[in-house]
Structure 1
Amino acid sequence: MNPDDPRARRTRARLKAAVLDLATRQELGSITMSALAQHAEVNRATIYLHYPDVDALVTDAMEDAVTAVARAAALCPLDAPRDRPPAPLAELFDHVAANATLYERMLGGQGSARFAARMRERLTEELTGRFATGSRPAGFEDVPADVHAAFLAGALIGVITHWVCGGRRDAAAAQSFWRLFRPLVPG
């Protein structure tokens, strides 16, 4: 199978839409390949041509969201005032809030370990790349850039997970995270 074939791309798009739709209605662990095939209106064997399991499919389906979260986090000016979160951070939390049920399913106790790992990996990559261009706060020269980036990625994912899974989806989440994070930035 050629993954660039238009039919293969259409099938993957249908599968991604179906798994995301099902994930908003039920826990990931309860989504079966049979139910997914029925929802996507494809043969069950067709799914296996594209994805080995539901976790791989849902991770691929969320890739655009992961990229958006990673880029927003990397765009945050680390020297912004403590009393107001930077616009990219506020937009990131708005995006998560608009898709809270999906993020709760992905990051919760029965969520996708593969998705959480992919999110952490992408955030770390984006931040490491940013740090490599000189956009790293001063005062951390004694810490490798990739370790610094991994620390920040883990903190952000931890707060997002707590926010969507802990029932505290208030509008002040970005502000709360920024207040916690801002003291870690010298200046």
Structure 2
Amino acid sequence: MTYSTDPRAVRSREAMLAAARQLLRHEGPGAVTHQRIAQEAGVGRATVYRHWPQSEKLLVDAMGGAELPLFKDPEPPVREWLHRQLRRMADELAVPTVAAASLTLAQSAIWDAEIARRYDESVTTISDRIHAAVRSAVESGELTTDLNASDLAVVLVGPIVYRTAMQRGLVPDALIARLVTGIGTWHT
């Protein structure tokens, strides 16, 4: 899409993106709708649709300026930190609109190269952060594991996404504990 250089259109777009990011930050992906952004930015809903005809592109643009909070800044003991991060992810994905937005983005990434690029960046960020945390646990002697970096996120995050998004169920703490325990031998 070619963006207008008209100063009013630029200001409107910036206001809409700011509103979308604020909604995303404070209420989560489910709040990032054309109607809510129009209300928050003080523009007409048609203006939002003119800039983002597809909801998923609107969400992707909003996420593009937001820092991904999950699995950030690991702290020892890593086992407990990892459990808290997985619990946070499971709780967020348990909200139907968040699960729906996640699945919509994953599906859209199959068909749209720009969405795929941004989606892949988010997935890579999560994988890299999990790997860094586990690597620090291994280096400190807290954990012994033979899982490679690419498998860590699959083993830890995959079951949570499956339970929340595919089965539309809640993730009990016992399952998260099994996932964390399953990545290796924890030493206390």
Q: Given the two structures, how large is their TM-score scaled by the length of structure 1?
A: 0.56
The Cα shift of 1:157 comes to: 3.0
Label 1:130 to 1:10 Cα distance change in 2 as closer, same or farther (>3 A): same
Q: Does 1:138 align with 2:144?
A: yes
Q: Would you say the 8 A contact 2:71–2:126 is kept in 1?
A: yes
Q: Would you say the 8 A contact 2:144–2:185 is kept in 1?
A: yes
Identity %: 12
Q: How do 1:166-177 and structure 2 match up within 5 A?
A: 166-170=167-171, 172=172, 174-177=173-176
Q: Which residue of 2 aligns with 1:71?
A: 72
The Cα shift of 1:121 comes to: 1.2
Distance 2:174 2:67 in 1: 21
CA displacement, residues 70-101 of structure 1 (integer Å, 9 cap, x when unaligned): 327x55745x4xxxxx2552354245425622
Instruction: Report the residue type matching 1:112 in the other structure.
Output: L
CA displacement, residues 6-38 of structure 1 (integer Å, 9 cap, x when unaligned): 87643312244678989638xx9xx7x7x6875
Q: Which residue of 2 aligns with 1:83?
A: none
Label 1:138 to 1:23 Cα distance change in 2 as closer, same or farther (>3 A): closer
Label 1:126 to 1:184 Cα distance change in 2 as closer, same or farther (>3 A): closer
Q: How do 1:14-163 and structure 2 match up within 5 A?
A: 14-16=19-21, 24=30, 41-42=43-44, 43-44=47-48, 47=51, 54-62=55-63, 67-71=68-72, 74-75=74-75, 77-78=77-78, 80=79, 86-90=80-84, 92-94=86-88, 96-98=90-92, 100-108=95-103, 111-113=104-106, 114=109, 117-130=120-133, 134-136=136-138, 137-140=143-146, 148-163=148-163
Q: Does 1:179 align with 2:178?
A: yes
Deviates most, 56-65 or 156-165: 56-65
Structure 1 unaligned segments of length 5 or more: list them: 81-85
Label 1:135 to 1:56 Cα distance change in 2 as closer, same or farther (>3 A): farther
Distance 1:98 1:156 in 2: 15
RMSD: 4.4
The Cα shift of 1:44 comes to: 4.4
Distance 2:127 2:178 in 1: 21
Q: Given the two structures, how large is their TM-score scaled by the length of structure 2?
A: 0.56
The Cα shift of 1:112 comes to: 0.7
Instruction: Report the residue type matching 2:97 in the other structure.
Output: L
Structure 2 unaligned segments of length 5 or more: list them: 110-117
Q: Would you say the 8 A contact 1:23–1:102 is kept in 2?
A: yes
Distance 1:157 1:65 in 2: 21
